[in-house]
Chains A and B, each alone.
Chain A
């Protein structure tokens, strides 16, 4: 059902949407316009003069092997964060959907990580995994595993993937649990009477019925992993050691803020912006199709 309010004049409705428009302008449109403009300029080494260079920054970017490496690295990162965050959440949701004792406590606890700020989540994982003081980190070294994510790029990647995925499990869990609960119990019971084993039921009944939720979560998780994990990476590895955990978003920050290469950094931002717009459009089209 659609609810419409009819206004007499234009002043009141204009005032009502103004705050949002102002926010959008100052925090999105203006910076975005600046980024697009900067991406077409090149500054000198001291940041005093800039000249218009057209698409040169973009051309340089796509010819830069470091950038292409970062693209691949980001894809790997996004893939594993999404898969781990969703798989763990689905398993937990399946357990939470059963008749178990203390189910409500269990569910509440599982939702908690979502309330933890990304930077704090990062620090938490650092404190766990630190080779000198971290509970798990020290433990791994005592077990004879040479664990130091500050030296080993693979381990660093593993750490940021785990920290980022952990943060997203709660969110996925809520959606998966809701999806599982919306499957009528009698449908599963009918399948049991039809002779389907638990695994077969999961494959032929549960999975297809939660597919819309799964697709929605894939989009959300990809967006999250690609664009929203900056704080987690900043708090754990800062993109290091070397460039081994430098995702595209983190590279924008490093090139622009740390190395002050505004032109290239802006060009990277614009590329990311196009990416976000494409994914969002995809998501909207899917949601429209659903409703």
Chain B
């Protein structure tokens, strides 16, 4: 197992700056999930670590050795691709053995390693098949097996589950996690799926426009998003964000319609009237009389709960998660639970903590 460090890693294609400086440090055996919308540079980051692209500047250290200028072959890294990238003309066995043969392992050694990996992944009966004859989930497993047998220093996953159907995705997600835990391989996992991001990683790196925005444990990211982008990106349905102003003495936020929410956890710094953005997750809005009036637009029953999407008086959209309800009226009054309020600066979007 190995550590992985990225130091001020940058990548530009011509005048397009895809990665604008990423610093990252993974402990041995850690699984770090990189999440972000498409185009945020997360896949480029992974390809840089794999050696499929050369960085414009910066260092990539595997176990303290800078590999940034090395060929992928010399890095001892394995990667699982989104479309699996199996060798279509080879059997499952040959797919897994390919890298081992290049390394010049003995026949028995290769056979043993492939057999072990196949047993681990439940592929024992499929070794003689070609990728064409496998289902999506089985192909995914072969791709994992091909990575495992090499016993690499670092594992890279490039959205490995996004080509699978929903049920299989849940199953494979758990399998990947179990496998990674057991093998303790330092792993980088790229995804745009926030459920994967929340469940798989020891830590989570949220990226936006080529820059890391927040690096923390999944729960920390969820409970204390560093800015409005993270707040809106993590959590489904998205957090409600509304413009507000700092109330008297920094003790409260005043919404545009005059509603005053007193902070539960203390004062916020700044002049009275400082521009803020306040965030509240849909599940922290309680339907209760005397709150914010919303006009209901759409009802999405999810079974165990119901998401109600409505508009405030000023036209802003608000979603509310409520326990399953029978009939929903046309208007509804909701109350914000102040202990769950997130406060951000109105201009920079950065989180404003209590003083």
Contact = CB atoms under 8 A, between A and B. Distances in A.
Bound together: yes
Contacts of B87: 187, 190-191, 205
Given A186-B82, A192-B72, 12 more contacts: A184-B85, A187-B88, A190-B146, A191-B98, A192-B71, A193-B99, A194-B73, A195-B103, A196-B73, A196-B98, A196-B99, A204-B98
A194 B52 contact: no
Contacts of B81: 186, 189-190
Interface in B27-83: 50-52, 71-73, 77-79, 81-83
20 contacts: A184-B85, A186-B81, A186-B82, A187-B85, A187-B88, A189-B50, A189-B52, A190-B79, A191-B98, A192-B51, A192-B71, A192-B72, A193-B50, A193-B51, A194-B102, A196-B99, A196-B102, A200-B102, A209-B88, A209-B89
B53 to A, nearest CB: 10
A192 B146 contact: no
A190 B103 contact: no
Contact of A193 (B72, B83, B86, B103): B72
B83 A184 contact: yes
Contacts of B203: none
A192 B87 CA distance: 12
Contacts of B82: 186
A132 interface: no
Contacts of B102: 194-196, 200
B88 A195 contact: no
A190 B146 CA distance: 10
A148 to B, nearest CB: 49
Contacts of A196: 73, 98-99, 102
A88 B50 CA distance: 33
Contacts of B83: 184, 186
B321 to A, nearest CB: 39
B150 interface: yes
Interface of B: 50-52, 71-73, 77-79, 81-83, 85-89, 98-99, 102-103, 146, 150
Nearest to B152: A193
A137 to B, nearest CB: 46
Contacts of B77: 193
A1 B337 CA distance: 59
B89 A193 contact: no
Interface in A168-211: 184, 186-187, 189-197, 200, 204-205, 208-209
B56 to A, nearest CB: 17
Nearest to B98: A194
Interface residues of A, number: 17
Contacts of A208: 89
7 closest pairs, A vs B, by CB? Answer: A194-B99, A186-B85, A195-B73, A190-B85, A195-B102, A208-B89, A186-B81
Contacts of A204: 98
Nearest to A196: B102
A66 to B, nearest CB: 46
B11 to A, nearest CB: 16
A184 B131 CA distance: 14
Nearest to B80: A190
Contacts of A195: 72-73, 99, 102-103
B101 to A, nearest CB: 9
B52 A192 contact: yes
A173 B201 CA distance: 48
Nearest to A186: B85
Interface string A204-227: 110011000000000000000000
A200 B71 CA distance: 15
A197 B89 contact: no
Contacts of B52: 189, 192-193
A192 B73 contact: yes
Contacts of A189: 50, 52, 72, 79, 81, 85
Contacts of B89: 208-209
Contacts of A197: 73
Contacts of A190: 79, 81, 85-87, 146
Contacts of B50: 189, 193
Among A189, A191, A195, A204, max chain B CB count under 10 A is at A195
Contacts of A184: 83, 85
B150 A194 contact: yes
Contacts of A192: 51-52, 71-73
A186 B73 CA distance: 15
Contacts of A191: 87, 98
Contacts of B78: 193
Contacts of A193: 50-52, 72-73, 77-79, 99
A196 B150 CA distance: 13
B45 to A, nearest CB: 15
